[in-house]
């Protein structure tokens, strides 16, 4: 794959993965708008793995607490870290079950600019409503199994390109009353098991393919996505500590209207 394509795809993924604006939608749009061949699933997952490394580094304290929670569970102790592992499992099961069914029966049927445009627009409005009406009183210490399940269940909607997994999980978390930073934090934690699963499967495919150029492209794209994602996470969390989701909503509205105008009028 040409170097320019890899750089743009990696930067797009790194910047958009944890922002509530849909990384999958952007990754689909890049080859559509630029008239490039689709980069394929392996490159998509490679840049996702890069963003996974970024979130593991940023949330290292949470990862450490969960690791300690597992160790202390062997001694019969129940810790907040252990409970967080439970909440992530509860939140991960619904999208995994539905995702397997969609992969089997729907395939790439939803990968169109029209669907991305409508999803970007409508779920952007929903994020705005949630951010305005949702109370700001809960932190991750107040997470419950019910709330983790509801937030995890919402990820099913993210199989519609343009919805944004980060966006819909933050939206539901805000409706439930979680602080903006805490909503983003749980959303990033929820991304970990999903990306690990997809990354493991595709890494196996890359190794079995024995394509040195594809392996090189995947490593380069993943590394660049890692850097872009880490910088983006730091900036986003800094913003959410003092302001709202409104700038992301405005971006979604502009992008949604632009895409629908392109689809219907050009």
pLDDT tens figures, 69-91 = 999 998 888 999 999 999 999 99
Q: How many CA atoms lie within 13 A of 130 on its CB side?
A: 24
DSSP 140: G
pLDDT in the model for residue 83: 96
Q: What is the pLDDT of residues 43-63, one digit of tens each?
A: 777 888 899 999 999 999 999
When computed from its CA atoms, the radius of gyration of the chain, rounded to whole angstroms, is 18
Separation between Cα atoms, residue 25 and residue 16, nearest integer Å: 9
The whole model's pTM is what? 0.91
Range of the domain at 104: 3-265
Q: How far apart are CA 97 and CA 128, in angstroms?
A: 29
What are the angstrom distances between the C-alpha of 158 and each of 45, 115, 162? 16, 12, 8
Cα separation of 124 and 122, whole Å?
5
- pLDDT above 70 covers a percentage of the chain that reads 89
Distance CA 99, CA 32 (A): 24
pLDDT at residue 237, rounded to an integer: 97
Measured CA to CA, the distance from residue 130 to residue 119 in angstroms comes to 16
pLDDT at 198 over 70: no
How crowded is residue 59: how many other Cβ atoms within 10 Å of its Cβ?
A: 17
In this predicted model, which residue has the larger pLDDT, 252 or 97? 252
Identity of the highest mean pLDDT range in 11-15, 73-77, 192-196: 11-15
Strand partners, 178: 138
Count CB atoms within 10 A of the CB of residue 110.
Answer: 17
Distance of CA 122 to the CA centre of its chain: 18
Count: domains in the chain? 1
Residue for token pair 């499992």: 89
138 three-state secondary structure: strand
Q: What is the pLDDT of residues 131-153, one digit of tens each?
A: 999 999 999 999 999 999 999 99
**Of 5, 9, 10, 16, nearest in space to 191 by CA:** 16
Please report the pLDDT score of residue 204 as a whole number: 63
């Amino acid at each position: 794959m040409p170097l320019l394509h890899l750089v743009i795809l990696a930067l797009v993924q790194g910047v958009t993965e944890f922002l509530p604006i849909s990384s999958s939608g952007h990754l689909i749009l890049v080859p559509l708008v630029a008239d490039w061949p689709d980069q394929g699933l392996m490159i998509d997952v490679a840049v996702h793995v890069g963003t996974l490394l970024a979130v593991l580094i940023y949330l290292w304290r949470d990862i450490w607490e969960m690791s300690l929670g597992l160790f202390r569970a062997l001694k019969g102790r129940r810790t907040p870290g252990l409970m967080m592992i439970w909440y992530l499992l509860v939140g991960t099961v619904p999208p995994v079950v539905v995702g397997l069914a969609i992969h089997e029966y729907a395939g790439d049927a939803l990968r169109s600019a029209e669907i991305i445009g409508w999803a970007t627009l409508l779920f952007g409005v929903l994020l705005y409503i949630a951010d305005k009406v949702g109370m700001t009183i809960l932190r991750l210490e107040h997470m419950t199994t019910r709330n983790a399940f509801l937030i995890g269940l919402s990820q099913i909607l993210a199989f519609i390109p343009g919805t944004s997994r980060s966006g819909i999980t933050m939206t539901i978390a805000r409706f439930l009353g979680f602080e903006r930073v805490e909503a983003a934090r749980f959303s990033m934690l929820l991304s970990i098991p999903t990306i690990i699963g997809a990354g493991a499967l595709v890494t196996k495919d890359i190794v079995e393919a024995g394509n040195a150029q594809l392996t090189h492209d995947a490593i380069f794209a993943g590394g660049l996505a890692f850097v872009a994602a880490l910088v983006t996470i730091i900036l986003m969390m800094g913003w959410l500590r003092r302001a709202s989701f409104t700038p992301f909503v405005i971006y979604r509205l502009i992008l949604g209207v632009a895409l629908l105008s392109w689809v219907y009028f050009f």
